[in-house]
Chains A and B, each alone.
Chain A
Amino acid sequence: MSENQNPRTDASNEVTVAPEAGNAVVHADRFPDPGVPEHKHRLTDTDPKAAKRAERTVTLLFVLSILGTVGSIVAYVLVPPDGTTAGVRLSTLLIGLGLALSLLGIGVAGIHWAKTLMGDREFVQERHTLATQGEARETAIRDMNEGLEDSGVIGRRGVLKGAFFGALALFPLAIAVPLIGSVGGDWNISKFKHTMWQRGTRLAIDPSGRPIKAADVTVGSVFHVVPETTEEFRETHEWITEKSKAVVLMVRLNPEDLRTDQSPEGETWSHEGIVAYSKICTHVGCPVALYEQQTHHLLCPCHQSTFDIADSAKVVFGPANRRLPQLPITVDDEGYLVAQDDFAEPIGPSFWERLK
């Protein structure tokens, strides 16, 4: 079937064909195609002096490119980075400028050459219908059918067909199963629900790891807190992964400013105005960090979710839906701040099994 049958969408085909094709059809309700506009000569086509000038410009540009390459190598040898940021920048700048000149020289020369000296006459070529035509098409269809018939799958041998496609569809499983089995580690997603915090874990300053005495926390001050642990553990991957869940932001408010926190009836999760909340935003998990003293608002820099520290860290603005979980704290016999327990709910962004 020829595809040019639709008169409404393809009428322009019928209206005209370039004069070269020589079979213009003119419809009464259609203007005739005026044909390709007349060719206009450039200055360089008619004036040998202009052509010579263009040639010199192109040559000069190529020479500039060579100079750029040389300059870049000279910079490489003579201006090694001395290690300081300024030194690195200077070396980068000089090598880069040389390379850029070397590339731009070739590029601009090529374009100028093409525009001024190469032929600028437009050519008209025929398009061929993309669909295979005539005998070739018939042959192709016949070959396909014969091939299919030879294979004997047409109409008969349903079981064979089923087994064939079944085998093809299933074999990747033998690769996929071992891959998927291992690619997710232990697949233990209940880890999302627990952190390193335990009853009695001391609150320590991030990044030094020094435990914090309640007496050292002045009103209005903000602490970035991690669980206290050994120096060796702090140099492992497990630490980074645990820290990703366990980081806490601790603030001391005037006890009368602290309207509510998340402690249930009969428990106290704060200590004399000191409250500790998970630092992992309940939106998509950025560390929340910007604390404003006057308003007691804690802002997440990623998408501006804002939490009110004086009021259970509830969401006051932004795309987060849930308050930041509170870390229940108290002090031990030596006056150090310690956790009463792990967080009461999973920290960070929501996931399907969060409440299961």
Chain B
Amino acid sequence: MAQQQRPTTRVGKAADYLDQRTSIGALVNQLARKVFPDHWSFMLGEIALFSFVVLIASGFFLTMFFEPSMALVRFEGEHPAAMQGQLMSAAFRSTVEMSFEVRGGLLMRQIHHWAALIFVGSIVLHMFRIFFTGAFRKPREVNWLVGALMLVLALAAGFSGYSLPDDVLSGNGLRIIDGVVKSIPLIGSYLSFLVFGGEFPGEHIIPRLFTLHIFVIPGLLIALIALHLFLMVLQKHTQYPGGGRTDRNVVGYPALPVYVAKMTGNFFIIAGVLTLMGATMAINNVWNYGPYDPSPVSAGTQPDWYILFVDGALRLMPGPGWEWVIGGYTLSMNLLIPAVVVPGILFTLLFAWPFVEARVTGDRGEHHVLDRPRNRPVRTAMGVALFVAFMVCALAATNDLIATHFSLSIFAITWVLRVLLIVGPVLAFWVTKRVCLGLQRKDRELVLHGHESGRIVRFANGEYVEVHTPLDEQERWLRVSYESPAPLEIAPLTDSRGVRRAGYRSERRWQRLSRFFYEDRVEPVTPAELEAAHAAHAHGRHAQVERPAAAVGAGTERPPQERA
């Protein structure tokens, strides 16, 4: 083997030193110029990632001063005055002292809390992006599962953190959890003892939550994020449809330098914005609530936003008649339905969706080009319907605020929301599906007849005709390059010899579901159809004054949201 060239620069020497010990060069080979597609919606996952980094950094700061103990102490400090001489847990005292005596302590607390809210928010938006564009399809089902698991963990992280300061709000939050846990049939009472190490609130819950909050949950999240990103790099990122983008290639910018520079830039911007929020917007000033005491509670206090939907569901569920006594045992359906059954169904749907969709589509291929949401009307409509249900529940969690702000009766609001929870999603499904199909038809229309140019031409015989400018080939490609799957076909019940087939019934059920998905569909325009349309135009003297393609590209009024 020829003698390798010795590096001369300092960076070169360092790289060489490392490579001789780790063969890291091979990795750099693979990654340095790896191509990443670019789109604003790909930022949502990044926002989640970077808020997580901010959470770890600010969280480390907090652990230096927080005391995870429920030992009862007297507040000796001078400030805040309202706390003087009060009996409280060491956890609450350390939270107040960290805010008042540690410089930058309140800043870090507020950054941490805002980052948590943005973290969960960006995860949910990221998930919507994945869902509506079909990025969960093969081969990314596994990454979808990893992601869904992280969503659950993120909620757990948020809730365990919210409870740590041991103030009135967090204690009441725990008490609600206790009530829900106790409603679980058979094991509920024992689960409550398991969580609290005895009766609520006891003296164990804060240290236990602390271990979960700073060790178990972040540890799992870090491992899963690593897996998530590893799979993303291995499978290469998806891309939006467009000229030259296929399921066999990836079009975008190289990791070095553009993608890395943008990612680094994004990290600092997100960290900066979160810091700005922490600096200027007060959040969870626990000394205003006071240490946990089982007796007082203040009206109009809301949990963090991602818990709102469960809280709202608890409010909407009517009570009387929903507690059943069976053989002397008590079954509280008024709690189980909103707090256990509904979220259970929601998360089961979430985990199962990629597999259900693949089954009803009869789809075993790899997909790397994303769907435009309109091209999958039923999927898109389901997503919107779920979102509406989520929003109605979240809104219900603020029914007391709505009532006082608009001086309405809380009874009326609750009833309106109850009806809305049933009707809203159905309506949203129907409307969204119609809108998607409408947009698909619009796409066909545009491909066949071009954009309206607003230019009117008068013919010799006095007839007026508006000139349509045909689409340039890039735009046309965007509007025709999609698949419109048909409902599944299945073999008949009996084979050619009249023997009944096993498994027919299950196939039939899947077929029915498949019809629900794909019965209404709009096929993309084919060249033959376009040809025919042109011929019709020429024939009916629907004169198409063709403009050169370049001019079209520059001046067409392409609605911005249509550019995927």
Contacts and interface: CB of A to CB of B under 8 A. Distances in A.
Interface of A: 3-6, 8-13, 15-21, 28-31, 33-37, 76, 80-81, 83-85, 88-89, 91-93, 95-97, 99-111, 113-114, 118-120, 122-127, 129-130, 180, 183-187, 189, 191-192, 206-207, 224, 226, 235-237, 240-241, 243-245, 247, 279, 283-287, 289-290, 301-305, 315, 317-322, 348-356
Given A89-B282, A303-B314, A350-B182, A127 B249 contact: yes
B474 to A, nearest CB: 5
B400 A287 contact: no
Given A8-B362, A304-B399, A127 B247 contact: yes
Contacts of B328: 355-356
Given A104-B273, A110-B261, A125-B249, A95 B279 contact: yes
B258 A351 contact: no
Interface stretch (B170-178, B423-431, B497-505, B535-543): B170-178
Interface in B31-46: 33-35
Given A321-B320, A350-B183, 4 more contacts: A30-B526, A123-B33, A184-B197, A319-B338
Interface stretch (B102-110, B212-220, B432-440, B450-458): B102-110
Contacts of B70: 237
A289 B103 CA distance: 37
B25 interface: no
Given A76-B104, A355-B325, A348 B202 contact: no
Contact of B295 (A9, A15, A224, A354): A224
B326 to A, nearest CB: 10
Interface string B368-402: 11000000000000000000000000000001100
B330 A352 contact: yes
Interface residues of B, number: 137
B183 A351 contact: yes
B244 A301 contact: no
Contacts of A289: 296-297, 299
Contacts of A31: 473, 476-477, 480-481, 525-527
A290 B402 CA distance: 17
A353 B411 CA distance: 32
B176 A302 contact: yes
26 contacts: A3-B366, A8-B483, A10-B247, A12-B247, A13-B365, A19-B244, A31-B527, A33-B481, A34-B473, A36-B251, A96-B276, A96-B278, A100-B272, A104-B269, A110-B261, A118-B261, A125-B249, A226-B295, A285-B175, A301-B400, A302-B176, A321-B319, A349-B179, A349-B183, A350-B182, A352-B330
Contact of A354 (B322, B330, B400): B330
Contacts of A303: 311, 314-315
A122 B182 contact: no
Nearest to A206: B295
Contact of B527 (A13, A28, A129, A240): A28
B510 interface: no
A184 B194 contact: yes
Contacts of A18: 244-246, 249, 251
A113 B2 CA distance: 40
Task: Specify the main secondary structure of chain B where it touches its partner.
Answer: mixed
Contact of A247 (B186, B282, B294): B294
Interface of B: 33-35, 70, 72, 78-80, 87, 99-101, 103-104, 106-107, 110-111, 138-139, 172, 175-176, 178-180, 182-190, 192-194, 197-203, 234-236, 242-254, 257-258, 261-262, 264-273, 275-276, 278-280, 282, 292-301, 311, 314-323, 325, 328-332, 334-335, 338, 361-366, 368-369, 399-400, 410-411, 414, 473-474, 476-477, 480-481, 483, 485-486, 525-528
A34 B244 CA distance: 7
Nearest to A351: B182
B275 A96 contact: yes
Contact of B175 (A84, A129, A284): A284
Contacts of B525: 31
A114 B262 contact: yes
Contacts of A129: 366
A304 to B, nearest CB: 6
Contacts of B297: 286-287, 289, 301-302
B273 A304 contact: no
Contacts of A105: 272
Nearest to B244: A36
Given A118-B261, A125-B250, A237-B203, A284 B526 contact: no
B295 A192 contact: no
A321 B332 contact: yes
B315 A319 contact: yes
A12 B481 contact: yes
Contacts of A107: 265-272
Contacts of A15: 481
